[in-house]
Amino acid sequence: MQKRFKGWYWFLVLILFGFQTIFIFNSLDQIRYEELAESVRNPFWFQNRLIYDGTSGSIFWYGILASVYNIFGFSLFTAKFVRLFLYLISLLSLAALLKKYFGVKKAVIPLITIGFSPTLLYFNTIQTIGIDLVWLPISLYLLSRIDFKKGAFTQILFWVILMFSWLSYPTVIFYTPALVLIYGYKLFKTKAAILKNVLISTATFFMPLILTFIYITNREWMIYDPHLRNGLFRGAGLLQFDGGFFFRNLNILSMNLFDRAWGYYFELSNVEFSHILPMFSIGLIFYIAVKVFFISPKLRFWVFLAFITLILNIVVISFSIDPNLGIRRYTPVIASIYVLFIICWVYTRDLQKNNQFRLITTLMLIIIPAHHILSFPVNLVHLKDPSYFREMVWFNRSETPQKSLDLAVQEVQQHDLDLICLDQKNQPYPCRYSEIYAAVAGSCLWNRLQCHKILGYDFKTKNFIPLSVELWNTYYFGH
């Protein structure tokens, strides 16, 4: 019976993966500027050993995509399926962690809850945003497998993956203190050679970053881009210790968690804990977590790590000036809440002697996965709603963005492609070329097509000029 239940547990993982796949396939009718930038333009710049600008810091993600495009070919939505594959690894890692530490029966509800997370399901359709939520279970799984008595391979892999995730999405930085503390706890607990392992960890953690600096030729922009006053790991925001900004950003976070989707590239009908009942469940989780912290020495460390990650993320991001702020910068808050949810779900029965209170607590916690499951069809139906952030110039000329790109690629294979934006009076007006240029040039390069020149109308010379990455890297064309 136990073996059969374990079989169903892993089948559940495939079911959750299937629901995410359904979300992916229902998101192919439009493409957003952020997706074009992070999965088309920036990988094409990476192919040319360049970064587009100082805010284009997800360099490892660009490297993964450029490698996939070179091997398997390119389409506009290939990145969605690369992320879907990475999500499968993440989901398996999460399932293995829950099973290892809590057993199959106690792991089912947390696995379902996280697997049906509205924010995670949605962000996994946008090719790069919120990918820290995918990397975190992989990092935690590797961390759990480190055995200092059996060689250094796993810990080397852990630190390399951690830096890779840093170079994929900057909010990974907020998980790092907790991950380092867990690593240090394991190291001191096993009484391994501390200096040796610290040196191994430091060297392997920074090695991917060093190799990235060697590979990128305009590496000075990684440190500081004077045009945007930004650089690697800093996103697009700037710290400003102002109470007004803090409470404004905190209000946005609260809205995105409990009320409605509002902010940069966040468009959901039912957000993570929308409606009234999940709010009570979250309140209960925090109450129990604080209680656990004071009465359970063995769990105190893990509750502390969850709260530290949550508070650090809230404080730093809420003091940021970013016109495009939203839940995408607060994903560690969501991860921390789910860590606390797991602790509350698994240990409530052990910590509470009152059967009535245990029953009430269990029912209140069940509200969250129930909410997520009921939200799935609602969010799925509205996934095809026209996005406010969708690209409307170059990838809206046919039934789908991919078909629009195919038309341009067919044309450039026959003759030079002239890119120009015309208004209703058939007069040229300034528009962006970088995304369509990268998509067409990338199609020719990665799909090994014989193509003619790609030209763009230049308002400075009033002529068509050949497009190249240098026109943007010298800021001849604006960003």
What is residue 5's predicted lDDT score, i.e. its pLDDT?
64
Q: What are 152-175's pLDDT values in tens digits?
A: 899 999 999 999 999 999 899 999
- Please provide the average confidence, as pLDDT, over all residues in the chain: 91
Question: Among 2-11, 235-244, 369-378, where is mean pLDDT lowest?
Answer: 235-244
Rounded alpha-carbon distances, angstroms, from residue 205 to 96, 201, 208, 325? 24, 6, 7, 29
Containing structural domain, residue 411: 401-473
Mean predicted confidence (pLDDT) in 82-97: 97
Query: What is the rounded average pLDDT of the residues 206-215?
Result: 93
Q: Does residue 424 belong to any structural domain of this protein?
A: yes
Does 189 map to a domain? no
Residue 222 lies in a domain: no
Lowest-confidence segment of 122-126, 184-188, 324-328, 407-411 by average pLDDT: 324-328
pLDDT in tens, 51-77: 998 888 889 999 999 999 999 999 999
Residue 1: is its pLDDT beyond 60?
Answer: no
Q: Is residue 422 part of a domain?
A: yes
Please enumerate, as own/partner, the contacts of 427-434 that have beta carbons within 8 Å and a separation of 24 or more: 428/457, 428/459, 430/459, 431/393, 432/393, 433/467, 433/477, 434/41, 434/52, 434/472, 434/477, 434/479
pLDDT at residue 108 in the model: 95
Total count of domains within the chain: 1
User: What is the mean predicted confidence (pLDDT) over 189-211?
Assistant: 88
Q: Report the pLDDT value the prediction gives residue 237, as an integer from 0 to 100.
A: 60
Q: Mean pLDDT check: name the lowest of 132-141, 175-184, 354-363, 457-466.
A: 354-363
Nearest to 347 by CA among 303, 282, 308, 283: 303
Band of residue 324 on the pLDDT scale cut at 50, 70, 90 = low
Asked if residue 437 belongs to a domain, the reply is: yes
Query: Is 374 contained in some domain?
Result: no
Please determine, for residue 242, whether its predicted confidence score (pLDDT) is greater than 80: no
Question: Which two tokens mark 318?
Answer: 């809420």
Which residues are CB-contacts of 289 (< 8 A; sequence separation ≥ 6)?
A: 303, 306, 307, 340, 343, 344
Classify residue 435: in a domain, yes or no.
yes
The rounded distance, in Å, linking the Cα atoms of 34 and 290 is 39
Give domain status of residue 408, yes or no: yes
